[in-house]
């Protein structure tokens, strides 16, 4: 779960990191009023998209009138598809240098890493490797000040800023652990005449840990359909084809999509019903898939934890409660496979043991070649 | 021979009284795994499929000599369960549980390293040395013994590949799921190392997917390997960005894409299959080369 | 720093541990009013003394009138020398069993330990070793629920209470770390028909960590003189003799007192000026010592970090600013010893290099044998 | 021979630019200790008594080959300093700083153990192998080389005892302060072990005090020792309770008192002196026995 900039900043401020004076607004009038209080300001669209600056989501205003005009134009516009509903209006900083500092999980090192660069303000992916410092963090001890100081020195920061940088990095790590973050980032961490200020901030929280992060706000970053399926505990991404796909496991779902493409089909979605999917949520997920009006449906189940008979019953249940005339192809192998196949065939549904045959069949059906 | 597990395993199942735990307890028993104990706090004294249940792993180790654990405990409590197993001296813990918080996985991996233990997963289908021992949730009947070592990120996709291997008469030494999560205990590189040393394994199959850099690191390591490697990767047409997001991209820095992985593996001499069912032919070719 | 029971309970409650309903009062009227709200109550004197129960500091009342009477008698009384200024009035619990659970630092194991016993409610020192469970805790990982469950099982707790016990122990450990505690204790942790309740609680905080425990209340547990010296950063305990003692280091201060006793003298205090004592606080400490009107003063300095010339100057400074006619003996060895001896002798103060001679001299002087 | 330190020490002083750090830097140099570097964040490039100052211990190790550290850093920052030294690969850290929070000391000890390193202190006067090397704050001139190994809890009291030994012509192999705090890295038992192995040490002197159970544990260990041990303990007449309080008493459970310690040591065959200046005679007797 990504938090909006203003939320991330609020949290970092509570952890003792300095942020610019500012306020979130959702009307041009408020923007003007904040600007009249703060002087020259920056208006930042609160959207979850990256590269917001290039898309016009970050603009300056020197007067309340200008702030109002800018806000008017920004509110209701879209940035990379995201509607701008809120603007963070902040006092414009006098920035001498922009640093990057982030804490993120490195899956290959199996550890959190501190990332830092003297070239902040841009997408960190664009910073050349040689200018990005990485330091692995031992979760048993956390990020210690000496390590952060060493990084600050290597960034070439002026000596008097080294303790402040170390302090910020350690506090960021504190927030990273406390909020089950995947990522905490200040980009840029601005060097100003008054010291270091988090001019922009991100905090992405591990979805799997939300159950114990009750104090955090909830932010949704998906289409209504995606949300609906996610609420069923499944993993869903919308695509633009016409063959609805449902499979069990991220790997086999991706492979199914790859195979369909290879066979000339156009998948309508990525839907992983997961290893432990029970009949009821699967039935609901199928119902959701059908809402998008695909031309055919492929269910590809290689049973592990998932039992094939559950899958078969789910298919029958959906058809029973909400009859559909769309062609359905089921591929079924694994635990309780015989029982699953029997149930489907008895109900007259096309079922295969081979993925190749099933994929070929559904592509044919979607083309109306029946 | 095989890697990680064989007939010497005495398994304790943590979370044995749950729906999945008890179902797969029976499956593992049927496969021939010596399931010597179950653990379920508050349920000590019960039995599941004839297996005695204890309140603590310590008891299971002391009373039944358990030396490996399979964890089905729900995600919020899984870290505690793995720590308990490791603290009780168990050196192989297979964590089936999915949806374990990322920071818990970090802790699990660090604690396992500290104890010199191996954690497979989390979010793994498990480990199987066909004909000898199975710890996990994979279907029993698709495996057969043989010279192919398989390491996979995704469960069902590995079943797909393994089933096609078995159908082609190509048995497996050991099949291991590294787990689908961002942070897992055992990785491709450690498995390649073990397969290289295992005399029974003659060819290695990697079943990978987009995201992360595990395949690229494996490719780097494969350059020093004497045994042939075949790979299949899922995700050529996966929607970009959605899966890993920004946090992953920062670390990956250009790696992690389908193209990057295929390039890395091919340049390390790996035969990469285009479709899952093409794997057996490539393995056959490697075996007879 | 010891916290009062009610403070410790407030903190544990914030950490999710159940405590009895109740309120701190400092008048009989309030006690009556709390009792009228809670029904049968227990009145507990808020003093830092142990063994409060046996000394009449814990009494029951079944009616508001009785609560008022009891409070009247308790307030203003003394328990082991401590005046009772506040009473915690709590709903009387229906206690089925009293457990002990504590977390404390084991200096010999160099680790925190979890201590638990099924025989709580008494002084834990009185619980036989065989009935006290100890489990060392790795600070890198903290107290994990499985360990606490194992302890609960070993205590023989009914199964349904095991998770609650584990939860409480883990939360106690959380508080232990968060507040730099030397000790966190629930004694008794009461088994009631509604579950586990912390019927009494202690939380002792490491004095050396108070600088970073700004959110905790401050509790003083020393005589005014002790406090005065402590504020100078020195370690002081009042005794009942007539020879004031000042030495540098806890060990040598204790040894000095032992030697004086052995020589027939009666030390008036324990004052360790510490290793790094500078002239100014030492001069102030001396001034404080003189306030207690001893018959003689022995200063025993074996210089390590402490420089003998600083000590000599401190002595001279005090004598210069507040002339005193009390006999003073100084024993001075170590860093800058020659300079120190020279300064003292030039000022006409008795100074020795040998502890034996100095001790003999001051005992003689205190007896008026000059 | 000696224990812990000798001529091979290349010392880095952390907190070298402070008042105590610079004063004792000079004292150590005068004693002959090879102080190769100082560390003081923000002061890299300076010099103290001719010793180059660096911003980090890593630099001091890389540039000057430092292999031991002496920490004078103020208490709130001492944990960070010790961790830095240990993380830079230093295997002997002598922590002079007093008033370090208890929980920081717990962390320091755990981290040192993890790294297989020795921490002396906190709140120690240091370690000296007379005539060879000194790391600490003890006065230079009271020590002389010889066969007596000394382990002490309190600094000044050990000076008292050592001065009387030297005066009696009884030199020291190594004198170590375990530190006055409740939790310290090195304890009596580890020191006894090392003195037992050190061929130059012929008799061991323990300077203890009331509180804690270090002397009782030492007594237990001494039973297995071949070398004679002499002890002096302070605190016979110390006000009860004030020093350790409840938290200590729970753990000690009757141990920790003067009587308990004397009893334990005597029953282990230790000669316990009644007055500090009686130690030399007891040592002499042990040497000639």
Domain CATH code at residue C61: 3.30.1490.20
My answer on whether C323 and C238 are in the same domain is: yes
- What value does the mean pLDDT of chain C take? 90
| Cβ within 8 Å, pair C153-B42 | no
| Position C12 in a domain | no
Tokens encoding D136: 């600490």
CA distances from C126 to C122, C317, D145 (A): 7, 51, 48
| Cβ within 8 Å, pair D41-A144 | no
* DSSP bridge pairs for B207: B152, B232
Best mutation target among D246, D264, D276 (most C Cβ atoms within 10 Å) is D246
Tell me: pLDDT of C277 over 70: no
Q: Among D41, D58, D83, whose Cβ lies nearest the Cβ of A144?
A: D83
% of chain D exceeding 70 in pLDDT:
94
Q: How many distinct structural domains can be found in chain A?
A: 3
My answer on whether C64 and C148 are in the same domain is: no
Tokens encoding D222: 């001494």
Residues of A tagged active-site:
100, 185
Spacing of C-alpha A211 from chain mean position? 17
Dist. CA A131–CA A122, nearest whole Å: 13
Map residue D256 onto helix, strand or coil: coil
Contact C260, C243 (CB under 8 A): yes
Q: What pLDDT was estimated at residue D246?
A: 46
My answer on whether C241 and C357 are in the same domain is: yes
Q: Residue D277: exposed, middle, or buried by beta-carbon count in 10 A (0-12, 13-18, 19+)?
A: buried
User: What is the DSSP code string of A99-156?
Assistant: EEEEEEEETTTTEEEEEEES--SS-GGGS-GGG-EEEE--TTT---HHHHHHHHHHTT
Of the candidates D181, D262, D265, D256, the one whose C-alpha atom is nearest the C-alpha of residue D221 is D265
User: Which positions 20-79 of C are in contact with D (Cβ < 8 Å)?
Assistant: 50
- Taking CA–CA distances from C359, the nearest residue in chain D reads D275
Would you tell me how many other CB atoms lie within 10 Å of the CB of residue B225? 17
Phi-psi region of A35 (alpha: psi -120 to 50; beta: other; left: phi over 0): alpha
Model confidence band, residue B246 (pLDDT cutoffs 50, 70, 90): very low
Best mutation target among C112, C254, C268 (most D Cβ atoms within 10 Å) is C254
Domain boundary among A35, A67, A91: A91
Q: What pLDDT was estimated at residue A304?
A: 59
Architecture of domain D11-120: 3-Layer(aba) Sandwich (3.40)
Specify the DSSP class assigned to residue C92: P
Query: Rounded mean pLDDT of B173-182?
Result: 95
How many residue pairs bridge chain A and chain D with CB atoms within 8 Å of each other?
34
Query: Rounded mean pLDDT of C7-19?
Result: 97
pLDDT digits (tens, 9 = 90+) for C107-128: 999 999 999 999 998 878 788 8
My answer on whether C352 and C287 are in the same domain is: yes
- What value does the mean pLDDT of chain A take? 90
User: Is residue C173 annotated as a catalytic residue, yes or no?
Assistant: no
Q: What pLDDT was estimated at residue D250?
A: 59
Of the candidates C106, C177, C185, C102, the one whose C-alpha atom is nearest the C-alpha of residue C142 is C177
Residues in chain A with pLDDT values less than 70: 275-279, 281, 304-306, 370
| Position A347 in a domain | yes
* DSSP bridge pairs for A227: none
| Position C7 in a domain | no
My answer on whether C65 and C116 are in the same domain is: no
% of chain D exceeding 90 in pLDDT:
87
Q: What pLDDT was estimated at residue A297?
A: 93
Largest CA distance in chain D: 56
Model confidence band, residue C278 (pLDDT cutoffs 50, 70, 90): low
CATH class given for the domain over B139-288? alpha beta
| Cβ within 8 Å, pair D183-C110 | yes
Tell me: pLDDT of D156 over 60: yes
Tell me: pLDDT of C345 over 90: no
Model confidence band, residue C275 (pLDDT cutoffs 50, 70, 90): low
* Least confident piece of the model among B33-42, C48-57, D31-40, D143-152: C48-57
Integer-rounded Cα radius of gyration of chain B:
19
| Position A161 in a domain | yes
Where do the structural domains in chain B lie, given as residue ranges? 11-120, 139-288
Nearest 5 degrees, angle CA D107-CA C252-CA C293? 115
Dist. CA B133–CA B140, nearest whole Å: 10
Taking chain D, what is the end-to-end CA distance rounded to the nearest angstrom? 23
| Cβ within 8 Å, pair C261-D125 | no
Taking chain A, what is the end-to-end CA distance rounded to the nearest angstrom? 42
Nearest 5 degrees, angle CA A127-CA A128-CA A131? 85
Of the candidates A263, D117, D270, A136, the one whose C-alpha atom is nearest the C-alpha of residue B113 is A136
**List of chain D residues whose C-beta atoms are within 8 Å of the C-beta of residue C139:** 103, 106-107, 110
Tell me: pLDDT of D40 over 90: yes
User: Is residue C146 annotated as a catalytic residue, yes or no?
Assistant: no
- Taking CA–CA distances from C139, the nearest residue in chain A reads A140
Cα of A61 to nearest chain B Cα, Å? 30
Tokens encoding B167: 């159908």
Domain boundary among C212, C234, C257: C212
Contact D230, D270 (CB under 8 A): yes
| Cβ within 8 Å, pair C159-B81 | no
Cα of A141 to nearest chain C Cα, Å? 7
C209 touching D, CB under 8 A?
A: yes
My answer on whether C83 and C102 are in the same domain is: no
Residue B120 CB partners (closer than 8 Å, separation 6+): B4, B92, B93, B94, B95, B126, B127, B176, B177, B178, B179, B184, B185, B186
CATH number assigned to the domain comprising residue A235:
3.40.50.261
| Position C6 in a domain | no
Q: In what order do the strands lie in the sheet with C22-25?
A: C22-25, C87-91, C41-45, C58-61
- Taking CA–CA distances from A159, the nearest residue in chain D reads D42
Domain boundary among C75, C91, C107: C91
Q: Which residue has the higher pLDDT, D103 or A369?
A: D103
Dist. CA C250–CA C247, nearest whole Å: 8
Of the candidates D180, D164, D234, D241, the one whose C-alpha atom is nearest the C-alpha of residue C261 is D234
| Cα dihedral value A3, A4, A5, A11, nearest 10 | -50
Tell me: pLDDT of B245 over 80: no
ipTM for this model: 0.92
My answer on whether A72 and A135 are in the same domain is: no
Catalytic residue among C5, C182, C185, C226: C185
% of chain C exceeding 70 in pLDDT:
96
My answer on whether A116 and A169 are in the same domain is: yes
Residue B261 CB partners (closer than 8 Å, separation 6+): B208, B210, B215, B216, B219, B233, B255
% of chain C exceeding 90 in pLDDT:
65
Whole-prediction pTM value?
Answer: 0.93
pLDDT digits (tens, 9 = 90+) for D232-271: 999 998 766 554 344 555 566 667 789 999 999 999 999 9
Map residue A246 onto helix, strand or coil: strand
Map residue D195 onto helix, strand or coil: helix
* Least confident piece of the model among A169-178, A338-347, B183-192, C182-191: A338-347
Contact A35, A60 (CB under 8 A): no
Give the domain range for residue C270. Answer: 224-366
| Cβ within 8 Å, pair C163-B41 | yes
User: What is the DSSP code string of D14-31?
Assistant: ETTTSHHHHHHHHHHHHH
Tokens encoding B45: 């004294």
* DSSP bridge pairs for C298: C245, C329
User: What is the DSSP code string of D196-255?
Assistant: HH-TT--EEEEEEESSSSHHHHHHHHHTT-SS-EEEEEE-TTPPTTTTTHHHHHHHHTTT
My answer on whether C240 and C358 are in the same domain is: yes
The answer to whether D11-120 and D139-288 have equal CATH topology is yes
Q: Residue C339: exposed, middle, or buried by beta-carbon count in 10 A (0-12, 13-18, 19+)?
A: middle
My answer on whether A73 and A189 are in the same domain is: no
Map residue C242 onto helix, strand or coil: coil
């Amino acid at each position: 779960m990504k938090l909006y900039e203003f939320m991330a900043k609020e949290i970092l401020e509570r952890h003792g990191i300095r942020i610019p004076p500012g306020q979130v607004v959702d009307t041009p009038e408020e923007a003007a009023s904040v600007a009249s209080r703060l002087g020259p300001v920056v208006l930042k669209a609160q959207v979850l998209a990256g590269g917001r600056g290039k898309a016009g989501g970050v603009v300056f205003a020197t007067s309340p009138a200008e702030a109002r005009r800018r806000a008017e134009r920004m509110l209701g516009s879209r940035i990379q598809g995201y509607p701008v509903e809120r603007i963070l209006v902040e006092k414009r900083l006098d920035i001498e240098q922009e640093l990057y500092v982030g804490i993120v999980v490195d899956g290959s090192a199996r550890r959190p890493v501190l990332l830092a660069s003297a070239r902040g303000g841009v997408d960190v992916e664009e910073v050349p490797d040689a200018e990005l410092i990485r330091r692995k963090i031992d979760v048993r001890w956390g990020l210690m000040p000496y390590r952060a100081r060493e990084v600050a020195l290597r960034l070439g920061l002026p000596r008097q800023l080294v303790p402040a940088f170390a302090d910020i990095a350690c506090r960021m790590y504190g927030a990273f652990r406390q909020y089950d973050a995947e990522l905490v980032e200040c980009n840029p961490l601005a060097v100003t005449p008054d010291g270091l200020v988090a001019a922009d901030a991100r905090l992405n929280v591990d979805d799997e840990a939300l159950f114990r992060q009750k104090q955090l706000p909830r932010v949704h970053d998906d289409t209504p359909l995606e949300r609906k399926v996610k609420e069923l505990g499944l993993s869903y991404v919308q695509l633009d084809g016409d063959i609805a796909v449902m499979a069990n496991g991220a790997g086999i779902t991706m492979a199914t999509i790859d195979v369909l493409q290879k066979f000339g089909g156009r998948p309508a979605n990525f839907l992983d019903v997961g290893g432990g999917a029970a009949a009821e949520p699967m039935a609901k997920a199928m119902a959701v898939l059908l809402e998008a009006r695909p031309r055919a449906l492929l269910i590809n189940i290689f049973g592990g934890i998932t039992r094939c008979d559950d899958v078969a019953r789910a298919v029958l249940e959906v058809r029973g409660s909400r009859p559909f005339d769309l062609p359905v192809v089921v591929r079924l192998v694994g635990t309780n496979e015989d029982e699953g196949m029997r149930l489907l065939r008895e109900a007259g549904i096309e079922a295969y043991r081979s993925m190749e045959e099933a994929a070929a069949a559904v592509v044919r059906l979607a083309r109306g070649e029946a | 021979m095989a890697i990680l597990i064989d007939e010497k395993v005495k398994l304790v199942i943590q979370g044995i009284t749950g729906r999945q735990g008890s179902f797969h307890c029976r499956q593992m028993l049927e496969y021939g795994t010596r399931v010597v104990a179950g653990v379920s706090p508050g349920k000590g004294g019960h039995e599941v499929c004839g297996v005695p249940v204890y309140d603590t792993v310590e008891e299971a180790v002391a009373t039944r000599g358990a030396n490996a654990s399979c964890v089905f405990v729900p995600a919020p409590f899984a870290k505690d369960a793995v720590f308990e197993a490791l603290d009780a001296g168990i050196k192989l813990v297979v964590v089936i549980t999915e949806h374990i918080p990322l920071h818990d996985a970090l802790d699990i991996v660090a604690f396992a390293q500290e104890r010199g233990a191996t954690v497979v997963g989390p979010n793994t289908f498990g480990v199987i040395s066909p004909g000898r021992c199975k710890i996990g949730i994979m279907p029993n009947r698709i495996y057969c013994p043989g010279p192919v070592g398989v390491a996979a990120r995704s469960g069902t996709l590995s079943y797909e590949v393994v089933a096609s291997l078995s159908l082609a008469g190509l048995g497996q030494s050991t099949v291991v799921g590294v787990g689908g999560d961002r942070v897992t205990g055992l990785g491709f590189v450690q498995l390649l190392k073990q397969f290289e040393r295992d005399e029974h394994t003659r060819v290695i199959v990697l079943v990978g997917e987009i995201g992360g850099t595990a395949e690229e690191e494996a490719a780097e390591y494969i350059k020093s390997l004497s045994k042939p490697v075949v790979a299949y990767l899922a995700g050529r047409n996966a929607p970009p960005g959605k899966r890993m997001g920004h946090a992953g991209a920062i670390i990956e820095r250009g790696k992690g894409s389908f193209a990057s992985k295929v390039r890395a593996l091919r340049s390390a001499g790996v035969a990469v299959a285009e479709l899952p069912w093409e794997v057996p032919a490539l393995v056959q070719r490697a075996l007879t080369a």
